[in-house]
Structures are given as structure tokens and as C-alpha cells.
Amino acid sequence: MDVAVGAELPEWHVPSVSAEKMKTTAALLADPNPIHFDAEAVRALGMGDRPVNQGPLNMGYVMNMLAAWSGGHDRLRRLRVRFLGNVFAGDQLRAGGVVTAVREENGDRLADCEVFLTVVGGEPVLKGTATVALAPATEETR
């Protein structure tokens, strides 16, 4: 895998954040916070009228972007993120990043990246850094 510092990672898109998947996620996480499944609760808090996506899902979209670029989820070595804002049902998102370093560690070729998740037409909702293992040349030619 030929990677240079400054290379942009291919963007990964969410066409429309699903309120139904938030409900399943609330059950999976045993998360009782109603802002993820009850629009009335969101309204009562003055946060609009659309359910709020779970933070871990936002992080997961960035992991998907990194896996699509690097060759799989088993490539991820580290991801550090800061949650900057809310994502609401119906939002369109794009995840992306840029390579900041390419290095070797314990025989692995690693790429350090800056990553983001942004609401299309809005502000970044997540920013962070990641490290992924790059496919060795021998693996690419198999």
C-alpha cells in the first residue's frame, strides 16, 4: 500500500442517520437516555425535534472509514476522538482524514492520521487521531 504524508483518506458517507438504528443501539447499550429514542424528550430539553445519535455510533463511522481505506477492521491500532457536537436523525455525514506520518514499529508499517466526522452543511461533530497498520507489499501482490 503506497501511502504518503498529506494523502487524504477516501471519505465515507452516511446518507441519512437512522432513528430506528438509534433505538436498536439504545437496547444494545442498555442506555436509558430518552434523547436517543423519544423525540418528545428531545423537544422537552429544547434540543429540537429529532433524536440524538449515540456517540459510539459516530465513532464507529470513523472506524468504518479507516477500515475501508486500510483493508479491514483488523488494521486499527489506535483511535482517539473528541466529541464536539450532536448528530441528529436525518443528518447526512461524511467521515474522512489525512495521513500525518508513516512509520515502522515492531515490524509493522503504520500510518498516523487526523480524522473527522462532519455534518454535511454543518460543523465537525468529532475530531481525532488514528493509527492503522498498512498492508505490507507482499500481501498486496498475493
Partner 1 sequence: MSDSSLGTPSPEQVKAQIGRRFPGGTFTVEPWRAWLVADVVLDEPGGEVAHPLFVWLAATGATGLTWDDLFGWFGARASDGPMFGEHETTVHRPLRVGGVYQVSGEITSAERKVGRSAGPFDVVGYQLELYDEADGAHVATCWNSIVFPRRS
Which residues of the chain form contacts with partner 1 (CB under 8 A)?
Answer: 14, 21, 24-25, 28-29, 31-33, 55-57, 59-61, 63-64, 67, 72-74, 76-83
Alpha-carbon distances of 31 from 26, 52, 55, rounded to whole Å: 5, 13, 12
CB of 78 to partner 1, least distance (A): 5
Cβ distance to partner 1 smaller for residue 4 or 111? 111
Question: What are the C-alpha distances in Å from 84 to residues 53, 61, 67, 125?
Answer: 13, 15, 23, 5
Least Å distance, CB 10 to partner 1, is: 16
Amino acid of residue 79: L
Strand spans (E) along the chain: 8-14, 76-83, 93-105, 108-119, 124-133
Min CB(140)–partner 1 separation in Å: 19
Nearest to partner 1 of 50, 61 (CB atom): 61
β-pair partners for 52: 88
Q: How far is the CB of 79 from partner 1 (least distance, A)?
A: 5
Between 21 and 103, whose beta carbon lies closer to partner 1? Answer: 21
User: Is 78 or 103 the residue whose CB approaches partner 1 more closely?
Assistant: 78
* Nearer of residues 83 and 109 to partner 1, judged by Cβ: 83
Q: Could you tell me the smallest distance in angstroms from the CB atom of residue 120 to partner 1? A: 15
Between CA 17 and CA 126 the distance in angstroms is 15
What is the distance between the alpha carbons of residues 35 and 100, in angstroms, rounded to a whole number? 36
